[in-house]
Amino acid sequence: MKIGPKYKIAKRLGAPIFEKTQTQKFELSLARSQGARRSRRPGQMSDYKRQLIEKQKMRFTYGVSEKQLRRYVDEAVEKSNQPVALLMDRLESRLDNVIYRMGLAKTRRLARQVVSHGHICVNGKKMTIPSHRVKKDDVISIREGSRQTGLFVDLKEKHEAAALPSWVTFDVKKMEGTMKSAPVYNPAENMFDPEQVMEYYSR
């Protein structure tokens, strides 16, 4: 998914949603622009605009298209009386996100490339679809032919097992891991409000 100028997008949304914007320089720039905006335009943001911003934050965080996110939301509303939890479960169980959570890529964007380029197997079969839904007990492994590439050659030295969320495991020696339970949604981790996203799509 082509995104565009990340710095400008993050500034417009008022949150460092991309890795390159998670710096002190960006924070200072954002604080200055928000201060100037408040002095120029008194008044409150409309509900629609607030919901739109939260939706865009979610989209860019997970790197999904508008069409994909709409499909995930519709599925969550249709299948559950707790649609926010199901929506977050669907986003977190994407293969590219699971690869990111396992510590095999520093960013979700890189994780998407890792999957698309055929470096990952799910239950022993090569998988090249980043949006593939990983299920409980699925085994995610680095393809044998990819283990000595530049992406993974020093993984044993750099992998931080302590940083993994509780619902995934990864064994660096075996170069494989599992999703041992459904993803656990932690609101404190996110820079967006999924409730506002659901409100946006309920209009």
Cβ partners under 8 Å of residue 84, min gap 6: 76, 194, 195, 198
> Strand, coil or helix: what is 171?
strand
Q: Which of 108, 168, 107 is nearest to 141 (CA)?
A: 168
DSSP 66: H
Helix then strand then coil, % of the chain, to nearest 5: 50, 10, 40
- Torsion angle (degrees, nearest 10) of CA 79, 82, 85, 90: 10
156-162 LR contacts (CB < 8 Å, sep 24+): 159/103, 160/103, 161/103
Give the sign of the dihedral formed by CA 181, CA 140, CA 110, CA 129.
Answer: negative
Q: Note the CATH number of domain 100-179.
A: 3.10.290.10
Confidence of residue 162 (pLDDT cuts 50, 70, 90): confident
Residue 36 has pLDDT above 60, yes or no: no
Joined together, the tokens standing for residue 71 give 């499909």
Q: Where are the domains positioned within the chain?
A: 1-38, 51-93+189-203, 100-179
Question: What's the whole-number mean pLDDT along residues 40-54?
Answer: 81
Question: What's the whole-number mean pLDDT along residues 122-150?
Answer: 96
Instruction: Quick: pLDDT tens for 77-86.
Output: 999 899 999 9
Contact in structure between 179 and 93 (CB atoms under 8 Å):
yes
Residue 203 has pLDDT above 60, yes or no: yes
* Burial environment of residue 101 by CB neighbours within 10 A (0 to 12, 13 to 18, 19 or more): buried
* Cα separation, 77 vs 65, whole angstroms: 19
Confidence of residue 171 (pLDDT cuts 50, 70, 90): very high
The region that residue 143 occupies, defined by phi over 0 for left and psi between -120 and 50 for alpha, beta otherwise, is: beta
How big is the CA angle at 190 (ends 181 and 93), to the nearest 5 degrees? 30
Instruction: Quick: pLDDT tens for 19-31.
Output: 656 555 556 665 5
